[in-house]
Amino acid sequence: MECRLHCGACCIAPSINTPIPGMPNGKPAGVRCIQLDDDNLCKIFNQPERPALCSLFKAEAAICGETREAALQIITDLENATQPHS
């Protein structure tokens, strides 16, 4: 599956615990990455400073669903399911 252009769900829903240019402490889940432009495209795609987590992500139907909204929900649900509960 190819990434859905202008989606950006994978740049919003998950937490990223490593530095991102402009976000030295990474980003919490649900926060828009500073490197996501107004068209929901990554400004540092294929750049060495792009976090490894981002580079490893591959679009697939089970994660991306049929729509951007579905992708946001699926990734949010996965994020919540993988976080430690106190």
Decide: helix, strand or coil at residue 70: helix
Whether 22 has a pLDDT exceeding 90, the answer reads yes
- The region of weakest confidence among 8-12, 60-64, 82-86 is 82-86
pLDDT of residue 84: 78
Whether 76 has a pLDDT exceeding 70, the answer reads yes
pLDDT of residue 21: 97
Using a 10 angstrom Cβ sphere, with 0-12 exposed, 13-18 middle and 19 or more buried, the burial of residue 4 is middle
pLDDT of residue 72: 97
Domain positions in the chain are 9-82
Whether 86 has a pLDDT exceeding 70, the answer reads no
Per residue in 29-44, pLDDT (tens digit) is 999 999 999 999 999 9
Q: How far is CA 53 from CA 20, 26, 57, 63, 66, in A?
A: 11, 11, 6, 15, 23
Question: Average pLDDT for residues 63-73, to the nearest whole number?
Answer: 97
Decide: helix, strand or coil at residue 42: strand
